[in-house]
Amino acid sequence: MFYTVLIIWLLLDQLTKYYVMNHFLLGESLPVIPNVFHLTYIINRGAAFGMLANQRWFFLLVAIILLAVCAFYWKRLAKGHWTLQIGSALLVSGAIGNGIDRYMIHGVVDFFDFRVWPIFNVADIAICVGGGVFIIWNLIQTENTEEVENIAAAENDVGQRLDIYLAAKLEVSRSNMQKLLEEGRVFRGAKVFKANYKVKAGDVFTVMLPEPELLEIRSEAIPLDVIFEDEECSCC
């Protein structure tokens, strides 16, 4: 999902900019809804919505840092919740889209003009929506009741398979632990572990345990033949 969203949004950004640059004169404005929404071609030397103008290398550096952070945490992003994947893909596509402009023309092509708001582009939308998705995801995680366990390996644990070691430590089945490992719920920082990882001295593992499912107990009518019954007891 990450690559799909990234590629689609990046193509949409670059194609719309290409169209505007080849069909509009710089500064030209086309009313779509007069005095409400126009298409206005400008070169923005600042950040999203025109902020911090003429800071080209600063914004290129910020884009590179953002891409480096996403690359560092890629394993967790790839196995994370779909909201996390979409949010990170939008942020990366926005950073790449505007980064291409800054490198090629020393500014960013903007054209969406709502008259009461600074002019922006498709990449700016991606950055804002991606950031919003990240905030929502973090709020969900904050309210999440999942239990987090931090487990430190001792000298006598060295050499064990991780799934067997953690299953014994947390008193869960090996199959359940393998599922947690496949879902990326066992990690240390950005590193996500596999089931066949051999435990090393000094390893510390963070395990996110899902909230236990509440089982609903339902009564069931069972037909019984009464053999004997009085005021004190019944025999079936």
Q: pLDDT band at 224, cuts 50/70/90? A: low
Q: Is the pLDDT of residue 137 over 70?
A: no
Mean pLDDT of 189-210: 79
Mean pLDDT for the chain overall: 77
For 82-130, write each residue's pLDDT tens digit.
Answer: 677 787 788 888 888 888 888 788 788 999 999 888 888 998 888 888 8
Please give the pLDDT value at position 52: 52
- Which residues are catalytic, by number? 110, 124
Please give the pLDDT value at position 173: 86
Exposure of 116 by Cβ count < 10 A (0-12 exposed, 13-18 middle, 19+ buried)?
exposed
Please give the pLDDT value at position 230: 66
In whole angstroms, what is the distance from residue 84 CA to residue 82 CA?
A: 5
- Residue 186 neighbours by CB under 8 Å, 6+ apart: 162, 166, 180, 192, 193, 205, 206, 207, 208
Query: Which amino acid belongs to residue 211?
Result: E
Closest CA to 148 of 187, 206, 195, 204: 206
Q: pLDDT band at 15, cuts 50/70/90? A: very high
How many alpha carbons fall within 13 Å on the CB side of residue 161? Answer: 10
Please give the pLDDT value at position 24: 93
Please give the pLDDT value at position 75: 58
CATH of 147-209, one of 3.30.70.1140, 3.40.50.300, 3.10.290.10, 3.40.630.10: 3.10.290.10
How many alpha carbons fall within 13 Å on the CB side of residue 84? Answer: 15
In whole angstroms, what is the distance from residue 101 CA to residue 96 CA?
A: 9
pTM to 2 decimal places: 0.55
Please give the pLDDT value at position 18: 92
Q: pLDDT band at 77, cuts 50/70/90? A: low
CB-based contact 9:92 (threshold 8 Å): no
Please give the pLDDT value at position 13: 92
Task: Name the percent of the chain lying above pLDDT 90.
Answer: 13
Where are the domains positioned within the chain? 2-143, 147-209
